[in-house]
Amino acid sequence: MADLTSDGLAPDDVPAVLLSEGEDPDPLDAALPGVVRWRLVPGPGVEVEFPAEATHLFILADGRLNPVDQVEGWKGWLEARGLKVARVLCVVHCQLAEKHPKLIAWYEACIHYSDVVLLSRRDGVSNKWIGDFRRRFEDRYHPCLFEFVKAGKVANPALILTAEARRMAHVFDEQEWVVVDEEDDEEEQEAGEEEVEMKPEEDHYFERRNGGRRVHEIPNIADFLPPRPA
């Protein structure tokens, strides 16, 4: 994040980094510009003080919370302020993902929303695993970019931040409409007319059952991480 905010923007840009209240303070926070804390609230929604002086916001998701809830919460917050999403980045902890195959489903959800996938923590991970991981998405024609992180940096920060949507999801784009049902009665067929019912497109991971649980559930990432310090 420090690399991107320092080397990926123009000299006159004013970045601010939004960190979750759930993230523990870290000495590296001092390298981040304009840090503001945010929190996820029921709805889901987001509460955060808008940094009015900023020209670019870097929102760092909470690494222990459900990414779908966070996307849904930030979607409403951004729309209410007329803000445009330039890029969504997903950082893959390759060592963790290789160790816990169940986490592939969690990363599939993250990459569904991502324009760029940064492959990090690759020490000790086989090239075959990394190749298989990439092909899992490339074979499904995911348009996102895959890049390597080396020594905490990317080769070209400006390329990573290029405002070009390459994500599968449309939640941050203009509302799409899909056909619900198409009914032709005998008279309409004779007149050459069709009645088409439309509804707003619903994101794959946003869908919920009648009881409120999501149709497409993903693993709880916190189950695979060490507990927070007491």
Q: Write down the pLDDT at residue 147.
A: 97
Q: How far apart are CA 45 and CA 129, in angstroms?
A: 36
Beta bridge pairs of residue 52: none
Running along the chain, 230 residues long, what does each successive block of 10 average in pLDDT? Answer: 90 95 90 95 93 94 96 95 95 98 98 98 97 97 96 92 94 74 51 64 92 94 87
The reported pTM is 0.87
**Do 44 and 194 form a contact (C-beta atoms < 8 A)?**
no
Q: Which pair of tokens denotes residue 196?
A: 């088409």
Quick one: which H or E segment has residue 93? strand 89-93
Q: Write down the pLDDT at residue 178.
A: 62
Q: Write down the pLDDT at residue 209.
A: 94
Q: How far apart are CA 132 and CA 127, in angstroms?
A: 8
AA identity, residue 28: L
Q: Write down the pLDDT at residue 188.
A: 47
Cis? peptide before 15, omega within 30° of 0: no
Q: Write down the pLDDT at residue 61.
A: 96
Q: Write down the pLDDT at residue 148.
A: 97
Q: Write down the pLDDT at residue 24.
A: 87
CA torsion sign, 54 to 57 to 61 to 67?
positive
Q: How far apart are CA 21 and CA 112, in angstroms?
A: 25
AA identity, residue 208: R
**Do 59 and 18 form a contact (C-beta atoms < 8 A)?**
yes
